[in-house]
Structures are given as structure tokens and as C-alpha cells.
Amino acid sequence: MTEPDDRTSAPQRKNPLHGITLEMILVHLVDRYGWEQLGRRISIRCFTHEPSIKSSLKFLRKTPWAREKVETLYLRSLDNDDATG
């Protein structure tokens, strides 16, 4: 038998977003901040003008810079949860 190849799974174990969908991230942020506050923190139209999960996901999936901002805010919000919990 051969040993499992850890090279492919090792980077994912260190990735805090591994297993978390963009929808899960967005729902968490909306629950935590609300659309208005989210739009202030990340000024993108899908958060400030008639926001919805569906329209925001569509935009974020095709706009890497915006998705990166959302993922960064999500990770920061988790750090804040740890500090207060």
C-alpha cells in the first residue's frame, strides 16, 4: 500500500475558508451587520441598492476583488467573535 499524498490536502487544512461557501459567508455577514452596515463597510452597489442574497452572490461570483473584500471581512468578523467570546 502507498501512503496518502498530503501535498494536495495540506494547503486546504490551513485555509480558514475551506468548506465555507460564499453563500454561508454572505448570510453570516448580513446576520451580523445587516445590509445597511455591510454596505458601509464594503461599498458595492449589490449591498446598497435593493440588496438580496441572490443578486449579491451573482455579483460576487464574477467579481474577484469584491469577493476578496467580503472574505476578508468575514475572517475579521470571526476574529472579533473569538475575542469577545
Q: Give me the mean pLDDT over the 19-28 stretch.
A: 96
**HSE on the CB side for 14, CA within 13 Å?**
5
CATH number at residue 68: 1.10.720.30
Tell me, yes or no, whether 5 lies in a domain: no
Residue 80: give the domain boundaries: 34-85
Res 6 pLDDT > 60: no
Tell me, yes or no, whether 26 lies in a domain: no
Q: Give me the mean pLDDT over the 69-79 stretch.
A: 94
Residues 39, 34: Cα–Cα separation, whole Å: 9
Top pLDDT among 79 and 54 is at: 54
pLDDT in tens, 36-67: 999 999 999 999 999 999 999 999 999 999 99
Band of the pLDDT at 11, cuts 50, 70, 90?
A: low
Tell me, yes or no, whether 83 lies in a domain: yes
Tell me, yes or no, whether 43 lies in a domain: yes
27, amino acid identity:
V
Residues 21, 72: Cα–Cα separation, whole Å: 14
Domain count, the chain: 1
